[in-house]
Structure 1
Amino acid sequence: MHTSSPTVIEQPAPVHHNRLYRRVVLPILALLRMGASPRKLAWSIALGLLIGINPVLGTTTVFCLTAAFLLRLNLVASQLANHIVYPLELLLFIPFIHFASRVFHIAPIPFSAAQVFHIAREHPLALIRQIWQWEWHALILWAVVASIAIPVIALALTPLLRKLLVRVEHHEYPILHHPRHNA
């Protein structure tokens, strides 16, 4: 009597992606699978990245939604990029204001909290006017940077997203890992 052992089909190990892959790459893959064009996706991401670092704190979501809607770009991709760079917005806030004060020859922002509090107590309206001036000039500087960087980033991302779309169409990058069951 001949007994044969059952054929064992090796299952691929489950794919465990890091947080960045799950939070950034998978949504972009999903957008490509749903029919988003690589070109429009690239412009949406570039727009979100640059709006996400504008120096007017608390405005990025509204600015990003408005710009993406008016330009008929992908709202999800622009918001994804906007939220990814949030830490950069905080890191670049002071440098934008500092550099703008030098470019536009206005009083620099005092880096001492004691100086700011002193001005706030002694001349609150002057401080509000000065903060508005810092913000306004920093926003102008950011707009110049953004008007150059958005097309550069979009043009760089478009071919990468086209290659990614080809891989998605050939199912080389699955959105979710579906374990196969042995029959």
Structure 2
Amino acid sequence: MRIPSLGGVCSWLHDKIIDPFLLILRRGTEPKQLAFSAALGTTLGIFPIVGVTVFLCGLAIPILGSRCHPPTVLLLNFVVTPIELSLVVPFLRLGETICGSSHFSLTSDALKKVFTGQASTQVLLTILHAMLGWLFVAPFILPLLYLLLFPCFKVLVRRFKPKEAQLRSEA
């Protein structure tokens, strides 16, 4: 069932997120594996350095092998991109607090210094602080998301199980 189009946004949402998600559910993957993969994709997807998350997922998938579901990891990595962008500053501030550093000034003057190369050390330190903030919260996010998503995936997998698989399980 398609949602009426609002300037193509709903169509894009269906084609890029909802349809792939339904396809994943219909393939009969285990709820535990889906929940872990979704939690992993989300946790890696909010890594505070834009553009690095796909590489992190690309490293995690072969390392974890059959314990994760690659399409789910990558889909959630894609879905949480707006959240990733909104969490860069909180991760930065958390990392600065952990290190006891002064706050990096996020002003237009600071941006000008970055572009002219006058703040290269500060920028590197800022990136390290943001990564530290993420490293601090990631071990809490992954299991929490898993615990929240597992019951959801149990219901969704049962609901979207292919018809022939439902008939076999009832027999």
**Structure 1 and Structure 2 fold alike (TM over 0.5):** yes
The AA in structure 1 aligned to 2:84 is E
Residue matched to 1:46: 39
CA distance in structure 1 between the aligned counterparts of 2:114 and 2:151, rounded to whole angstroms: 51
TM-score normalised by L of structure 1: 0.73
The AA in structure 1 aligned to 2:137 is V
Change (3 A) 1:26 1:119: closer
Change (3 A) 1:167 1:104: same
Identity percentage of aligned residues: 27
CA distance in structure 1 between the aligned counterparts of 2:113 and 2:124, rounded to whole angstroms: 18
Task: State the 1:29 CA deviation.
Answer: 2.7
Change (3 A) 1:62 1:115: closer
SS of the residue aligned with 1:157? helix
Change (3 A) 1:158 1:128: same
Residue matched to 2:58: 65
State whether structure 2 residue 147 is matched by structure 1 residue 151.
no
Unmatched runs of 5 consecutive residues or more in structure 2: 4-9, 164-171
Task: State the 1:74 CA deviation.
Answer: 1.3
Tell which deviates more after alignment, 21-30 or 92-101.
Answer: 21-30
More helix by share: 2
Residues paired across the two proteins, number: 154
CA distance in structure 1 between the aligned counterparts of 2:114 and 2:16, rounded to whole angstroms: 43
Change (3 A) 1:119 1:34: closer
Task: State the 1:120 CA deviation.
Answer: 6.0
Change (3 A) 1:67 1:119: closer
TM-score normalised by L of structure 2: 0.78
RMSD of equivalent CA atoms: 2.2
Residue matched to 1:75: 70
Computing the radius of gyration over CA atoms, which structure comes out larger, 1 or 2?
1
Unmatched runs of 5 consecutive residues or more in structure 1: 1-14, 172-183
Residue matched to 2:25: 32
- 1:1-40 aligned at under 5 Å gives the runs 15-17=1-3, 18-19=10-11, 20=13, 23-40=16-33
Task: State the 1:25 CA deviation.
Answer: 3.8
Change (3 A) 1:164 1:142: same
Residue matched to 1:178: none
The AA in structure 2 aligned to 1:58 is G
